[in-house]
Structure 1
Amino acid sequence: MLAVDAGNSKTDVALVAATGDVLAWVRGGGFEPHSQGLGKAIGGLADLVRAAASEAGGGPVADHVTALLANCDLPEERETLTKAITAQGWAPDVTVDNDTFAVLRAGSGVPYGVAVVCGAGMNCVARSPSGRTVRYLALGRRSGDWGGGEFLGEEVLWCAVRDEDGRGPRTDLREAVAAHFDLPDVTAVCIAFHLRELPGERLHELVPLLFEVAGGGDVVARSLVERLGDEVAGMALAALDRLAFDRAPVPVVLGGGVLTASHPLLLNRVEARFRASGADVDLRILTAPPIVGSALHGFDELGLGGRAAEERLRAAFSRSLRPDVRRPVVEAVGKFSKDSCLE
């Protein structure tokens, strides 16, 4: 089986045997068909597939492809991407869906549950034991979303400049933002972004800064972190209500760089919201690479695997070396509880 986990910032491709053995694993850049164009995005994916096939010894690529992709949110997008991947001829059978399902399967340990991702963007999916799913449009603020790296960066800049020009409350974000970009004030930072002297992707750098300032007690910064925690819990709780799980506790997996950084203020807020709701959930922070979830999703689709194959698969990725940093991959699925969240 060919497993693909393609996010906005990186793409993992793996060839996996039905026994759970990992035959090849390669990594490349992000998958962004909207900005790159569909042909270029698929071409980049094809380069990785060729590399994986070569690493596995050549020959036919696979019997089945499971490609869980960023920017695959709408039915029309799933249809377009399915056709494009099928046309590559990598396998006779192709499954394409959103990459948040990879986070769900990698972190839940079972084929159902809820996953919330906060990385470059924000998304949430849920799957019941019977296979019914709930998902969001996940198109940004216009579709009701609040969060994600770029969004938070904009909010930090918004709060900082409003302190500087007198429209907003005092916040230490003002000095922190100017110092981070080595500019005299926040006005200069805004101008630099406007003139593209600072590239827009550098807004993500303000997210760690936000948590640092919030950790120091800044009221404005803390309010942003608490709002994010409310949004994370709110997405998951709404998905739980819409799907009406008949099995408890329900695994809720938190993924994406903003959440897996495990900032205590954020995680405490998320857990407090769940506790107040009375929902019977098992909150987990993802530590396995999402490509594990893509492979397991494929096993589920095909009726293959089983517990022994899943354990072998997780162990294989644990023993493997990440293609980008060449160090061991963390295998375990983390869990946080009331006590372990607190510092």
Structure 2
Amino acid sequence: MFLGVDAGGTKTQAALYSASGEQLAEGRYGTGNWESIGVNDALALYERIVTDLCRTAAVPITAIRSVAWGLAGLDWPSDEVRLRPGIEQFMPNTTHTLVNDAFLALRAGSTRPYGVAAIAGTGSTVAAMGVDGRQARTFGLGSDWGDFDGAQQLTRAAFRAAALAHYGIGQSTSLTNALHEWSLYQSIPALAEAFSRGDSISDIATFAPHVMHCADQGDAEAQRILTEAGTVLAQNIIGMAHAVALRSLPFDVVLAGGVATGGAKVFHATIQSLVQAQLPLAHIVVLQRPPVLGAVLLAMDAVGCRTDLTSREW
């Protein structure tokens, strides 16, 4: 049997599959990011997941041949040193694959075990896997370190566009009215005052869908914002593909995360144009399956098992 775990910053999903591709058990939990809850609590959660799913499937833990752990916060070699010994302690005779959770989207969305995943949600990271198993990943630390800042960047850019329009030095933009409706402040100065004085304002990332909607309705400023965001993401896709020697090969680029899957036409068109100009054999797809299925496939890959997966509704 094969276990896949997607331990994210807000939620954790796990699925247990047979070698024939039948789903035997699944589970949902809270955050599994060790950075948020600490190493000891993270390991306790991981052990609980294994116990719960084996109990549901009525099988012993020793029946699990391979596990893939897609872990938010597994960002550096030192992180695996922190986590692997504890995992192997409660499952000592099992093959364990530990990867950053970005690689799950790649495996879930690609027809091949190699390729590139571009995650654009609240934040952003780009991860690539080569044919030989070589891995490369952007740091995921935001624009200061070369990544697209995700939904928050779109909102901050909308703030700037609305402010410049208010000053009379920027284009008039429908983002202004969208910000009024989203924030319930009826002027840009009122919104700026609330923002600067710490009044209650929604998580700014939640405004990103409004930026995408304005762009699809033809607003020039919103389209510019999404073009700039798509350019950064495309450049990182190209860079990571080169880093794992995919330049001359056909491969999938899997787009995942709320911004990437939000459907903004100019965002997707920018990525498509720039990536295919440099990587003509790349095929861009939007993730349609839950990343946890990518974890199950990675667990199977680790021991040479090849099968199709059936899944219940997630």
Task: Give TM-score, length-normalised by structure 1.
Answer: 0.81
* Structure 2 partner of 1:77: 79
* Structure 2 partner of 1:327: none
Q: Secondary structure of 1:116's match?
A: strand
State the distance in 1 between where 2:176 and 2:41 align: 40
* Structure 2 partner of 1:114: 116
* Structure 2 partner of 1:94: 96
> Do 2:39 and 2:82's aligned partners in 1 also have CA atoms closer than 8 Å?
no
Identify which range, 181-190 or 163-172, moves more after superposition: 163-172
Q: What amino acid is aligned across from residue 30 of structure 2 in structure 1?
A: G
Deviation at 1:161, TM superposition (A): 3.5
State the distance in 2 between where 1:301 and 1:99 align: 16
Q: What amino acid is aligned across from residue 136 of structure 2 in structure 1?
A: V
State the distance in 2 between where 1:187 and 1:51 align: 53
Q: What amino acid is aligned across from residue 206 of structure 1 in structure 2?
A: F
> Do 1:65 and 1:90's aligned partners in 2 also have CA atoms closer than 8 Å?
no
Deviations 1:123-168, CA, capped at 9 Å, x for gaps: 1111221222222222222321123123333333343344335575
State the distance in 2 between where 1:185 and 1:284 align: 40
Q: What amino acid is aligned across from residue 117 of structure 2 in structure 1?
A: A
Q: What amino acid is aligned across from residue 212 of structure 1 in structure 2?
A: H
Do the aligned partners of residues 279 and 180 (structure 1) sit closer, same or farther apart at CA in structure 2, a change above 3 Å counting?
same
> Do 2:4 and 2:296's aligned partners in 1 also have CA atoms closer than 8 Å?
yes
Please point out which of 146, 160, 163 is paired with 2:162: 160
Do the aligned partners of residues 194 and 303 (structure 1) sit closer, same or farther apart at CA in structure 2, a change above 3 Å counting?
farther
Q: What amino acid is aligned across from residue 298 of structure 1 in structure 2?
A: A
Q: Would you say 1:35 and 2:36 are equivalent positions?
A: yes
Q: What amino acid is aligned across from residue 313 of structure 2 in structure 1?
A: L
Deviation at 1:209, TM superposition (A): 0.6
Q: Secondary structure of 2:263's match?
A: coil
* Structure 1 partner of 2:278: 277
* Aligned positions, number: 312
Q: Secondary structure of 1:145's match?
A: coil
Identify which range, 277-286 or 80-89, moves more after superposition: 80-89
State the distance in 1 between where 2:278 and 2:132 align: 24
* Structure 2 partner of 1:14: 15
Do the aligned partners of residues 19 and 232 (structure 1) sit closer, same or farther apart at CA in structure 2, a change above 3 Å counting?
same
Deviation at 1:221, TM superposition (A): 1.1
Whose relative contact order is higher, 1 or 2, with alpha carbons under 8 Å and at least 6 apart?
2
Sequence identity of aligned pairs in percent?
28
Deviation at 1:210, TM superposition (A): 0.5
* Structure 1 partner of 2:240: 239
Please point out which of 316, 321, 342 is paired with 2:313: 321
Q: Secondary structure of 1:257's match?
A: coil
Do the aligned partners of residues 12 and 238 (structure 1) sit closer, same or farther apart at CA in structure 2, a change above 3 Å counting?
same
State the distance in 1 between where 2:39 and 2:190 align: 36
Deviation at 1:235, TM superposition (A): 1.1
Deviation at 1:294, TM superposition (A): 0.7
Within 5 Å, which residues of 2 pair with 1:52-67? 52-57=53-58, 59-60=60-61, 62-67=64-69
Deviation at 1:64, TM superposition (A): 2.7
Deviation at 1:4, TM superposition (A): 0.5
Deviation at 1:241, TM superposition (A): 2.2
Deviation at 1:295, TM superposition (A): 0.8
* Structure 2 partner of 1:208: 209
